[in-house]
Amino acid sequence: MVNADPRATAVANLREARMALDEGRPGDALESAEKAVAAFSWLDDAEGVAFGVLAQSVALGKRGLLPGALDTIDRVQQIASANRHALLQAWCGFSRAVVELRLDSRERSLHSLARALGLAELTGDAELTGSILFEQAKLMRTQYHEHCMTRTDGARCSLDGEPCVRKLRRAEALCGQARDRWKQLDEPLLMARVNLLVAHVRLDLGEVERAQRACRRAERLLAGRDRPVLRAELLIARARCSGSRNRLADQIAQLTEAAELAMGCLAREVAVRAHGALSTAHERAGQLRQALRHARLQLEQYRLWELQEGRDLLRMREHDPSARLAEQLAHHRFEPHRERTFAPPRGYRPLRSGTTAEQTNRRIARALQAGLTKRGIEVLRRVADGASTGAIAEELALSPKTVQNHLQRIYRTLGVRDRAGAAVWWIGLDDATAQP
């Protein structure tokens, strides 16, 4: 018996894929995105399939399959443009920007983010708008570290330099805008992420007290949640606060815990940063042997990270999954005014007159619980729409006799006598599911 709503499960897998991408776990993201695509495909939800394909493409890009990922995103972009689907076009722009960062194309990425932001604001999608602003803030901070912290002679640039301060203040302002958008969603993990970035920006500015407040907010948001990567990131931010106050023992303890958490969930990128910070902290404390040990562990984690990416890249190139991702959309048709899978933007209308996508999904879930097969549900839906046996056979590529056999099994399973009874059972499900 299936207890979960198929659409709710698909949406949950897509959200987990996006969160895994944000946490630097492209392997887990790829797996969750594949589950989402399969579920949306079963539901004949072209929009959901497209979003899942984009998540898969970003995961492949983060694993190193850059040309294939960008090509797939371009093909989804063409489909979105042909269907005048502004939200999907915005997600395509955002996905392209994330992959372009993997190519170290920051200027191109900023351009893609700016275009995606305009479309996202047009649709009113708070999640995507916040994500774009968040990525812009990260890029602004990266530019600060690359161009302002180090001069050509190797000396650190003073924080009193106005360009440096402007970049960090701009990053902080973008974080605030992202936080305002994400507040509408009631998603604690997104709010925790933006608070962690705010903490690092404030530490760059030398504002330790304000950074600690951001860390405390992130800690409250993560309370009771099993997110080891985000907890490791929180510990790294707290360690920076401790280091700024010369509390080296606390800093080392926090970084050690962060490294253990990151290695435990195979978050190699976070582990590399944690061991690098540990090496520096031990060196400051005069513990040179420990500093050397963590420098070696940092190198080891980095090599494991590269090795894993290399193995994945070889395997993916052999099977070339990106070449077939966008093809999955060819089997689905976008409705001109399809109801959104997630929080609906302004101007969207239901999928079909008289029946919303939500009603259809509830009916499918209830039919599965009753014991109908996938093919049985496909036949039943067409019976309820008034299709004849011949029309059903032609549409599903079955023989009329096979359709009749499906109908007999449907009647027995549902306890009805004929097509009218089956149609009433299907249509009447909404009243049944509305009961507590």
Tokens read off for 13? 């897998």
How many whole angstroms separate alpha carbon 169 and alpha carbon 246?
Answer: 25
pLDDT digits (tens, 9 = 90+) for 65-91: 777 788 888 888 888 888 788 888 999
For residue 100, count other CB atoms closer than 10 A to its CB: 22
Domains and CATH numbers, the chain: 1-122 (1.25.40.10), 358-433 (1.10.10.10)
Polymer length of the chain: 436
pLDDT tens digit sequence for 235-287: 999 999 999 999 999 999 999 999 999 888 878 788 888 999 999 999 888 98
8-state DSSP, 267: -
Interior angle at CA 269, CA 12 and CA 53, nearest 5:
35
- As a whole number of angstroms, the distance between CA 292 and CA 298 comes to 10
For residues 412 and 404, give the distance between their C-alpha atoms in angstroms, rounded to a whole number: 13
CB 404 within 8 A of CB 383: no
**144 neighbors 172 (Cβ within 8 angstroms):** no
Q: 25 vs 54, 58, 216, 254, 262, CA distance in Å?
A: 16, 11, 25, 22, 11
d(CA 58, CA 60): 5
CA dist., res. 106 & res. 298, Å (int): 26
Q: How much is the pTM?
A: 0.69
Burial of 216 per CB tally in 10 Å (0-12, 13-18, 19+) = middle
pLDDT, tens digit only, all 436 positions of the chain: 344 678 888 889 999 999 888 887 887 888 888 888 888 888 878 888 889 889 988 888 887 777 778 888 888 888 888 878 888 899 999 999 988 887 766 778 888 888 889 888 888 889 899 999 999 999 888 877 766 554 444 444 544 455 678 888 999 999 999 999 998 888 899 999 999 999 999 999 899 999 999 999 999 999 988 889 999 999 999 999 999 999 999 999 999 999 999 888 878 788 888 999 999 999 888 988 988 988 888 888 777 766 665 555 444 444 444 445 555 555 555 554 343 433 433 333 333 334 555 667 777 878 877 888 878 888 888 888 777 888 888 888 888 888 888 888 888 888 888 787 787 788 764 444 444 3
